[in-house]
Structure 1
């Protein structure tokens, strides 16, 4: 997945709260199609998605409206965390959106304290010179959630994957 370098896109992650929604913006020094593919190809998605130290296995993505996503975050010092979801909007290479929930290995919903029953996540991919600006919006989280750290670390992992692979 190696990408050509560009000095026109900043690599810092910007975090904001907008009416209860977490909004994260991050620039990547890679073409939009490559960044989009890292979100929509299971073997690439599994290599970066999640906080530092996590492993995503198994990982199933059926990236089409109504298609399912199902994966497990595995951590050295914590219990596995399963997530199931459904893609609600797919427009390659411009955007994807999905709703998801914590689940068991079979995909049945398993409520987690402090989280909504269902989370809504939208991601847009904008061309910015030779790079890509990604904006992620996750609806309905309280501001003190650990999602900011998880997303920030995951996006750092994505940047490394795009630069080094």
Structure 2
């Protein structure tokens, strides 16, 4: 079950907010987000793969990754883990980069104009008996995320995570 909403606002409009219920216990869903071996199995939309050039999953740690899309090419990004509260909350940044990890504009990466230099993603995990309600918020306009495919990409990744769990 998934629900896409835009209930959080920024000065430029509603930001991305997705709620998804997984048929797995909270600790298991949280681990899928914080275990590199599990992330590579689901953290890319259908038809794509993810490669982590570096990943250090701990508060203060960082990652540098590439989503490989056979149609649209490679999408490099990096981020920092700002908060890891096991098994309740995960907060990290996402910034567009090149293969070397240098910050670049969205336009230079072939993305839509207006995409922020950096976004923050907050994921909360709520136990519902043997299920988990996940809430994801990303600091980017929901309309822009929908138009660029980023918002539907999250939903596709959650579907892949459903299969893994």
Same fold (TM over 0.5): yes
Q: Which residue of 1 aligns with 2:109?
A: none
Q: Which residue of 2 aligns with 1:151?
A: 154
Confirm or deny that 1:96 pairs with 2:85.
Answer: no
TM (normalized to structure 2)? 0.86
Whole-angstrom CA distance in 2 between matches of 1:96 and 1:83: 18
Does structure 2 conserve the Cα–Cα contact (< 8 Å) formed by 1:54 and 1:75? yes
Secondary structure of the equivalent of 2:143? coil
Q: Which residue of 2 aligns with 1:108?
A: 102
- CA deviations 1:73-126 (Å, max 9, x no partner) are 001122200110001111111111011101112211111033101011000111
Q: Which residue of 2 aligns with 1:126?
A: 126
Does structure 2 conserve the Cα–Cα contact (< 8 Å) formed by 1:93 and 1:125? yes
Does structure 1 conserve the Cα–Cα contact (< 8 Å) formed by 2:23 and 2:132? yes
Does structure 2 conserve the Cα–Cα contact (< 8 Å) formed by 1:23 and 1:138? yes
Whole-angstrom CA distance in 2 between matches of 1:74 and 1:56: 6
Confirm or deny that 1:49 pairs with 2:52.
Answer: no
Call closer, same or farther: CA 1:103–1:76 in 2, change over 3 Å: same
Does structure 2 conserve the Cα–Cα contact (< 8 Å) formed by 1:61 and 1:69? yes
Confirm or deny that 1:22 pairs with 2:11.
Answer: no
Structure 2 gap ranges (5+): 107-112
Confirm or deny that 1:38 pairs with 2:32.
Answer: yes
Q: When you count strand as a share of all residues, which structure comes out higher?
A: 2
Call closer, same or farther: CA 1:128–1:122 in 2, change over 3 Å: same
Structure 1 gap ranges (5+): 1-11
Equivalenced residue count is 151
TM (normalized to structure 1)? 0.86
Whole-angstrom CA distance in 2 between matches of 1:75 and 1:144: 20
Cα RMSD of the aligned pairs, angstroms, is: 1.3
